[in-house]
Structure 1
């Protein structure tokens, strides 16, 4: 055999394969955790089964540093979970979410604990640890599935907030169980272990509270420059975890979670920028850690999974969740189709896998050989639940009547005669959309026409949960204020992707010094993509509307191609939008031409068509 690559190359392979897995997940619209763990399994135990020696052996590669690296990754993940927990948003989500937290969480923990004991034959303590880890349904796997399903907000908000809140709760519960096991093995009584757990939680909470409050206060008073806020926050998270763990082992996870919650509710103006920086760093860190965790599994540990593990996962998916959710949400404001859907969806994700890899590994190192099955069991559960629920989600939502449209949804910001005309044309094409404006009077015509409307500021915190940007595939900002349109596009670009936020052109380039390429104009990096041709600004399309120009939809067939449709347009008319045969929508403009193809529909804006015989 060839000599194995050196340590630097293997580190590069770990990081590169993790990022590649995330990119493939984005392209395939799969949850990234599945491909990340798949890469680790291929490079680790599966390679070992095929060749007799794994390509990656993180334990041999990093030695005693592997466990602290995994611990820091879990800390960053839990901080991220705490950072998403904004109590103002949670209060607006209604009673079902609180029921899932107050009743659903302990009932699920108890049910999984019983199932693990009687099906897998685990001792009660390990069963309780497994149950705590598997209560989590993290947003990293739930939110991508919800975006694909395009569910009503009443249903998606319950699943979203359950994942956000239960994520840190489940991890902390697992930490408490681990600490009890560790102290019991040291000869302490369960009472002493319980008191130590409470003390550890209190110490961690105080350290996290002080760190979060102190850093947020420094930010509010301008003691930290903007370019240093994000890296300082990351350093503070690592320091908070290390300081708390020095005072009491494993209390650091409590500390960083509380740190994140305090930060999320401190009303910091720069919170979004820090979240984006953290997401970029966390993407690399989490990718590397999950490849390493999966590669750390041995062929022997995989062979510990037998028919009982498969039965346990089936009971988890088909018995535990479907029984507990209806009992928890019965009599709530959520209707029965929504309850049935929530009962059938609970994918496990990042926190479950990372927490299992960390805590179960510590137990095995301390001499609990029966804990070796926990990590592969959790990994198998993550695979099964993500794939199972991923394939079930769409058909189940359609069967329950929760999905009204399978096509992409468009968010139109700004109600004016031109966008209202666009809305009428989209409704005729059966393209789902929402038109938003801060002025109730401007929305009057849209409401009378039966269009879906949102009255409020799309940049507000309220819009984050009432408008739910995640349900939209594309955004068009078309108000009379060019700078506001640019701000809306920039704000929504991280959620929708910069290739899916559009606005009308800037000032007429025919006017000297006012074109989009003028250095005094809004830079292209600070605005959305241009709809229509350059120079077709708000004033231009509004003037054409009042001159009698209208929208026209043309169906593309094998006989009547997109070339024919473009040739049939009147002089000056322009294609605006293409509805493709698969339900996706594409807004058109400079260098973006319609693809065409049978079954697609081309929407144009212009004077009356010169070809009256063209299909429409």
Structure 2
């Protein structure tokens, strides 16, 4: 029992705890069930979670919440966990080729987007230059998680997924710095700083945060790998503590904590740590919990009566962002890296906004910036409306532009200690409608020596294949391989999918991939 004196001081009683647990558990259960609805409808879960917040809030069940400071604090906490989950579950091999364009898109592309939206907000909405640019900075951050939630059934090439994934990990940090700088200048006691000084400060913060994240991720990761606990649950807690530590150290050093969090988690996720699947599962669970809590909290902070007044301005800014700012940022940033025009169009349309802009919209409120209370409402409406516009059309746009990967390969997560001890990997391959894997026998895949097709699923029926089993469109099959040959297997599957069974042969018939072809089998 809580002593009466303590209860009166804290203002939170055991009865309040019971009510909070009741509401919280019901919201969580509804949120978990809503994932299935989101998968069927093709809409990101963020819309459902924001809706839950609105329903529980003052216009629904009557729960009043208006603490912008607490929202920002909890929002930053949630973003740290979400970035940590993103880094830990990202394969470096999947984003390696996309890192350079993602960095350019997250820096130069962000500046282009901020400038375009700022000009539009100044001339179309009559805002001051500082507030207009602040609005542009707040709305410039994209959310790849929202994209992937609607594209689970429409596989994309690794270059596109890697670029979207890396962009979402990198762009939060520069955007946060830019928003803070502009919001401080717009505050009542804020002093304007030269643009070059702001730019130099941002570069130093990003570089310092990146260095701290990389060093802590590698050094502490190596130590925890050596002293790994036999308990996968305990070890997972230790691993997740490292990105949080990176954020705290970087922030105390007045550098970017968000970039430190993401890079430290990225390093940890590729150190081949023990209990890898348990760590990934724990990180994903915390990431989901952070997303649910964050979006419901943002929904609570919003007021439907205020949102109505920002519909027209949100449509204006959102249209500029979707049809002008995002395409220009992509056009300026990625052509130098061999990104085809069809892929550029898709990247432009796939710039979904998520939690980060709504969280950053609370920054002017916490700094006391005058006449900016409407920014949160505008950004909230913009995120909801344009998610409804873009999300359902993304699969159609991907197919129309021909950027679908017909030989999509996924890592299959199996929580099995023997697999880790054997350093084995399990891959799931889907034969697309136009893939040349159709009609190919299993033996004609010519997989590396340490890889084999173990199971085929066709029209809901499973079979253990032989060397002469023929693959058909719509088939899904499992490949078991060693960790060292994973990349070779993926390259081989994609080659056969693109070129057919003769992939890897010269015109005169000499095989060019002997190194991965299995030796003849005698019967």
Same fold by TM-score, threshold 0.5 exceeded? yes
Q: Give yes or no for the alignment of 1:259 onto 2:272.
A: no
Q: Give yes or no for the alignment of 1:276 onto 2:267.
A: no
Mapped contact 1:204–1:254 kept (Cα < 8 A): yes
Match of 1:208 in 2: 213
Q: Give yes or no for the alignment of 1:56 onto 2:63.
A: yes
Find 1:131's aligned residue among 127, 130, 136: 136
Match of 1:43 in 2: 56
Write the distance in 1 (CA, Å) between the matches of 2:85 and 2:154.
Answer: 25
Mapped contact 1:136–1:170 kept (Cα < 8 A): yes
Mapped contact 2:133–2:182 kept (Cα < 8 A): no
Mapped contact 1:18–1:290 kept (Cα < 8 A): no
Mapped contact 1:107–1:324 kept (Cα < 8 A): yes
Q: Within 5 Å, give how 1:69-218 maps onto structure 2.
A: 69-83=74-88, 87-93=92-98, 100=105, 103-151=108-156, 153=157, 157-158=159-160, 160-181=161-182, 183-184=184-185, 185=187, 186-188=189-191, 190=193, 200-201=205-206, 204-218=209-223
Structure-2 change in CA distance of 1:218 and 1:531 (3 Å): same
What is the Cα deviation at residue 74 of structure 1?
A: 1.5
Write the distance in 2 (CA, Å) between the matches of 1:338 and 1:64.
Answer: 40
What is the Cα deviation at residue 457 of structure 1?
A: 8.6
Write the distance in 1 (CA, Å) between the matches of 2:350 and 2:127.
Answer: 26
Match of 1:608 in 2: none
Write the distance in 2 (CA, Å) between the matches of 1:200 and 1:99.
Answer: 17
Q: Give yes or no for the alignment of 1:8 onto 2:21.
A: yes
Match of 2:415 in 1: none
Write the distance in 2 (CA, Å) between the matches of 1:209 and 1:334.
Answer: 28
Residues 251-301 of structure 1 show CA distances to partners (whole Å, capped at 9, x for unaligned) of 433432332233245454554432221001221221122111111112354
CA RMSD, aligned part only? 4.5
Write the distance in 2 (CA, Å) between the matches of 1:327 and 1:199.
Answer: 24
Is the partner of 1:531 in helix, strand or coil?
A: strand
Match of 2:462 in 1: 531
Structure-2 change in CA distance of 1:30 and 1:377 (3 Å): same
Residues 440-465 of structure 1 show CA distances to partners (whole Å, capped at 9, x for unaligned) of xx86x74xxxxxx5855998xxxxxx
Mapped contact 1:409–1:433 kept (Cα < 8 A): no
Match of 1:381 in 2: 382
Is the partner of 1:347 in helix, strand or coil?
A: coil
Q: Give yes or no for the alignment of 1:241 onto 2:247.
A: yes
Match of 2:47 in 1: 34
Structure-2 change in CA distance of 1:394 and 1:196 (3 Å): closer
Mapped contact 2:213–2:260 kept (Cα < 8 A): yes
Q: Gapped runs of 5+ residues in structure 2?
A: 1-14, 413-429, 479-523
Mapped contact 2:118–2:136 kept (Cα < 8 A): yes
Q: Give yes or no for the alignment of 1:314 onto 2:319.
A: yes
TM-score (norm. length: structure 2): 0.68
Write the distance in 2 (CA, Å) between the matches of 1:398 and 1:59.
Answer: 43
Match of 1:231 in 2: 237
Write the distance in 2 (CA, Å) between the matches of 1:120 and 1:343.
Answer: 24
Write the distance in 2 (CA, Å) between the matches of 1:343 and 1:64.
Answer: 33
What is the Cα deviation at residue 223 of structure 1?
A: 4.5
Structure-2 change in CA distance of 1:530 and 1:146 (3 Å): closer
Residues 114-169 of structure 1 show CA distances to partners (whole Å, capped at 9, x for unaligned) of 33333344443343343334333322122233333345x2xx622x2332222233
More relative contact order, 1 or 2 (CA 8 Å, 6+ apart): 2
Q: Give yes or no for the alignment of 1:290 onto 2:295.
A: yes
Mapped contact 2:54–2:303 kept (Cα < 8 A): no
Is the partner of 1:214 in helix, strand or coil?
A: helix
Structure-2 change in CA distance of 1:410 and 1:120 (3 Å): same
Match of 2:494 in 1: none
What is the Cα deviation at residue 216 of structure 1?
A: 0.8
Structure-2 change in CA distance of 1:235 and 1:375 (3 Å): same
Structure-2 change in CA distance of 1:391 and 1:24 (3 Å): closer
Is the partner of 1:370 in helix, strand or coil?
A: coil
Residues 380-405 of structure 1 show CA distances to partners (whole Å, capped at 9, x for unaligned) of 23223322223333443454455698
Mapped contact 1:179–1:197 kept (Cα < 8 A): no
